[in-house]
Amino acid sequence: MSAPPQAQGPRRVDAAALDRFCRAVLAAAGADAGTVDAATRAMLHGSRLGVDSHGVRLLGHYVAVLQGGRVNPRPAMTWPADGGAVAVLDADNGHGALATFHAVDHAVGRARTTGLAAVAIRNSSHFGPAGAYALAAAEAGMIGLVTCNADSYVRLHGGAERFHGTNPLACAVPVAGGRPWLLDMATSAIPYNRIQLYKSLGRDLPPGTASAAGGIDTVDPAAAQMLAPLGGDFGFKGAGLAGLSEILSAVLTGMRLSFEIAPMAGPDLASPRGLGAFVLVLRPQAFLPEEDFDAGMRRYLAALRRSAARPGEEVLAPGDREWAEADRRAAAGIPIDPDTEAVFRDLVDRFGLAPPAFAAAPDAASAPPGASGAKTG
Amino acid sequence: MSAPPQAQGPRRVDAAALDRFCRAVLAAAGADAGTVDAATRAMLHGSRLGVDSHGVRLLGHYVAVLQGGRVNPRPAMTWPADGGAVAVLDADNGHGALATFHAVDHAVGRARTTGLAAVAIRNSSHFGPAGAYALAAAEAGMIGLVTCNADSYVRLHGGAERFHGTNPLACAVPVAGGRPWLLDMATSAIPYNRIQLYKSLGRDLPPGTASAAGGIDTVDPAAAQMLAPLGGDFGFKGAGLAGLSEILSAVLTGMRLSFEIAPMAGPDLASPRGLGAFVLVLRPQAFLPEEDFDAGMRRYLAALRRSAARPGEEVLAPGDREWAEADRRAAAGIPIDPDTEAVFRDLVDRFGLAPPAFAAAPDAASAPPGASGAKTG
């Protein structure tokens, strides 16, 4: 069997170099300092942890929407409501990462007093990996829960058409002396990018995860027109969770429901998409002594990680896979797929910037982009 | 094909009569007035809405644990912590329904000031249907989120042994002029009682929902020793949600993790099981004007309910099925399965009470107990 190009190993870039490159590009595109910081931080979260669908492959898109008018490159964010444990942030159609990191910071600060705090975000935009924001809360010693809705792509249980977006739920919990417990999941069975990936790999989709016209399930990525909700025969659960996300992200914020959101890819890159999002932060020490919370998390995770696995499989806590990939990429560099590399070259030419330095020799040390966890070759 | 006894229709009892009977039994068993109220309310929620696994079939069990010592029939609940938006309730090993309704009431009251409020419950016990408590918040005009953990019965993704409990997540959202949106879901693929039901019906389980020894999936209910997490091939999502429940219910409360909880069925009915639970309430008007929230929920639900369904299927919002069943049972009475009827007879004899009046003629007007939504005959 001839090895596909991927098996040679993708081209890699050091995280620090990627960070500098993203910053330079976003600044050149007219983004203010806060946007440069936040968007880069969010993309690097994705690329460092192997959530490549929401990593630096988004850089070109973000430039397009910042310059196109959909995303305000210099927003003046305001707080239309702020009292007790609840605040509302108006993101002034700025970058979703700027708004959501800001919302988490605010909620963390408020939760120091109230024990828990929520921020509903209005007039925002695509925020990339939901887990980045949950993680920001955990890095501040708090439990973070984050959700947003997205343009329709997921059918309902028994449904024949696109309805909800992939509507992710992310939660991060601090673990003393270790990396946070980190769950970042679409409420569809699989994320949107999986269809593109399997199409490019010429592979069948897992059964029950995607549907063709009329909601009829298909394993052919070329025929897939929508995703199925998590749960297969029990997809009412995934659809219910997507609905919870919809209610918190769009109803509670007064923003657009999934089927009211213009497509992310365009063609309209000029009009704000009117997205909402929701952030909730809990301070463990408001509930019990810190040492008891820490001991509980340790006891729970120790039991989980030593519990018996099925033959040939492994048992992991949420986040374990991502942290292992982050370690591999910290050592070997971040893999950049050819399409993204082409986008980078275009940005370099357009803005007259230095390209990020690619590693000299390709290698297969870790998962190629988009296939984190999947075997190569 | 000869009709099984179920097709004759189960025996039915009027909800009001069932309510009176439960109260009389619990009082005779020594439960205080608050416990009688709360446990009856929770069981009737289950039986009215068709969540029969957590309906009046639990009455005999509750009597056993109240008299046995596991559940304190006259608890003195206290508030070890109460400030800002967070409170901690010590249930004094009383009935989980008493504690959890009390926690919701407290959170609803606090959320009027703070916009959202959470209560972590300690030293509690089995609380029946999580949805009853989420619904209590919605009936007060607020969004309610409720979770608890339970004794181990669900394997991890890739796991070979029982680890988490069925760890339900429930959420209820008020809908002006309509019944609340209501999601009440175990984080396993199917609830525990489904195994018993399919065994008694001689049917195969749905694939990927249960496993035999070693975590090897099985469709034979007689071989099933554990449940699989929601999601099948993507069971890391269901396991992650079970973990979120575990962290909120047991780590944040300082109570027992699922694998530390003694089995519900016994043999020990004398020792408190040390359960925790978690309740979160959000006040929509803290986020946006009430009329905007109401309009958003209306718009969302209208679009959902009119969206296209696959041939032969229907699209429902969370709660729609339960409310339809509640309407059928309000008209036809609540079906009581033979085992539960036998338990009732025993309680009648033991406590010298009048039995609840059963409907004169059996009928098949609605789903027999435990098979809500499944076709009979």
Beta bridge partner(s), residue A121: A89, A277
Give the pLDDT means over successive 10-residue stretches in chain A (377 positions): 54 96 98 98 98 95 98 98 97 98 98 98 97 98 98 98 98 98 97 88 94 96 97 96 98 98 94 98 98 98 98 97 98 94 97 91 58 39
Domain A1-68+320-360 has CATH 1.10.1530.10: yes
Which two three-digit tokens encode residue A239? 């659809």
Residue A85 near residue A218 (C-beta atoms within 8 A): no
Contacting residues for B250 by C-beta, under 8 A, at least 6 apart:
A296, A300, B149, B256, B257, B258, B276
Which two three-digit tokens encode residue A81? 């409501």
By C-alpha distance, the chain B residue nearest A168 is B237
Flag whether residue A5 sits within 8 Å of chain B, measured between CB atoms: no
Inter-chain CB proximity B287 and A143 less than 8 Å? no
Residue A282 near residue A142 (C-beta atoms within 8 A): yes
Contacts B245 to A, Cβ<8 Å: none
CA B184/CA B148 separation, integer angstroms: 12
Residue A15 near residue A44 (C-beta atoms within 8 A): yes
CATH of A75-188+231-287, one of 3.20.20.120, 3.30.56.10, 3.30.1370.60, 3.40.50.20: 3.30.1370.60
Contacts B216 to A, Cβ<8 Å: 310
Q: What are the residue boundaries of the structural domains of chain B, listed by start?
A: 1-68+320-360, 75-188+231-287, 192-228
Flag whether residue B322 sits within 8 Å of chain A, measured between CB atoms: no
Flag whether residue A82 sits within 8 Å of chain B, measured between CB atoms: no
Beta bridge partner(s), residue A253: none
> What 3-state DSSP class applies to A115?
coil
Per-residue pLDDT of chain B (377 residues; tens, 9 = 90+): 444 444 567 899 999 999 999 999 999 999 999 999 999 999 999 999 999 999 999 999 999 999 999 999 999 999 999 999 999 999 999 999 999 999 999 999 999 999 999 999 999 999 999 999 999 999 999 999 999 999 999 999 999 999 999 999 999 999 999 999 999 999 999 998 889 889 988 999 999 999 999 999 999 999 999 999 999 999 999 999 999 999 999 999 999 999 999 999 989 999 999 999 999 999 999 999 999 999 999 999 999 999 999 999 999 999 999 999 999 999 999 999 999 999 999 999 999 999 999 986 555 555 667 654 433 32
Quick one: B15 exposed, middle or buried, by C-beta within 10 A (0-12, 13-18, 19+)? middle
By C-alpha distance, the chain A residue nearest B142 is A252
Cβ atoms < 10 Å from Cβ of B24: 18
CATH of A192-228, one of 3.10.20.310, 3.40.50.1820, 3.40.50.300, 3.30.60.50: 3.30.60.50
Which of B345, B268, B258 lies closest to B59 in space, CA to CA?
A: B345
CA A104/CA A227 separation, integer angstroms: 30
Q: How far is B88 from chain A (nearest CA, A)?
A: 6
Looking at the partner chain, which of A214, A246, A300 has a beta carbon nearest the beta carbon of B246? A300
CA A183/CA A320 separation, integer angstroms: 10
Flag whether residue B351 sits within 8 Å of chain A, measured between CB atoms: no
Strand order in the sheet with A78-83: A78-83, A86-90, A116-124, A275-282, A143-148, A169-173, A181-185
Buried b (16+ CB within 10 A) or exposed e, A232-242: bebbbbbbbbb
CA B262/CA B272 separation, integer angstroms: 9
Inter-chain CB proximity B296 and A240 less than 8 Å? no
- Listing DSSP states for A9-41 in one string gives --EEE-HHHHHHHHHHHHHHTT--HHHHHHHHH
pLDDT tens-place string over residues A339-371: 999 999 999 999 999 999 998 655 555 566 765
Flag whether residue A178 sits within 8 Å of chain B, measured between CB atoms: no
Phi, then psi, of A173 in degrees rounded to 5: -130, 130
CA A35/CA A149 separation, integer angstroms: 21
Inter-chain CB proximity B296 and A216 less than 8 Å? no
Strands, E assignment, chain B: 11-13, 78-83, 86-90, 116-124, 143-148, 154-155, 162-164, 169-173, 181-185, 210-211, 226-227, 275-282, 334-336
Inter-chain CB proximity A237 and B208 less than 8 Å? no
ipTM exceeding 0.85? yes
Quick one: B111 exposed, middle or buried, by C-beta within 10 A (0-12, 13-18, 19+)? buried
Cβ atoms < 10 Å from Cβ of A44: 21
Residue B212 near residue A213 (C-beta atoms within 8 A): no
How confident is the model at residue A3, as a pLDDT? 43
Report how far apart, in Å, the C-alpha atoms of A23 and of each of A11, A36, A37, A353 are.
20, 6, 7, 11
Contacts A173 to B, Cβ<8 Å: 247
Inter-chain CB proximity A252 and B308 less than 8 Å? no
B contact test, residue of A237, A241, A257, A301 with most B CBs within 10 A: A237
- Listing DSSP states for A239-289 in one string gives HHHHHHHHIIIIITTT---GGGSPPTT-S--SS---EEEEEEEE-GGGTS-
How confident is the model at residue A137, as a pLDDT? 98
The number of angstroms, rounded, from the C-alpha of A92 to the middle of its chain's C-alpha atoms is: 21
pLDDT tens-place string over residues A92-125: 999 999 999 999 999 999 999 999 999 999 999 9
Inter-chain CB proximity B318 and A236 less than 8 Å? yes
Task: Determine the residue type at A164.
Answer: H
Task: Determine the residue type at B323.
Answer: W
B:273-292 residues touching chain A, CB 8 A cutoff: 280, 282-284, 286-288, 292
Residue A376 near residue A7 (C-beta atoms within 8 A): yes
CA B50/CA B56 separation, integer angstroms: 11
Contacts B292 to A, Cβ<8 Å: 254
Which of A177, A173, A183, A127 lies closest to A150 in space, CA to CA?
A: A127
Inter-chain CB proximity B310 and A160 less than 8 Å? yes
How confident is the model at residue A374, as a pLDDT? 37
Quick one: B349 exposed, middle or buried, by C-beta within 10 A (0-12, 13-18, 19+)? exposed
Inter-chain CB proximity B286 and A84 less than 8 Å? yes
How confident is the model at residue A10, as a pLDDT? 82
> What 3-state DSSP class applies to A164?
strand
Cβ atoms < 10 Å from Cβ of A263: 11
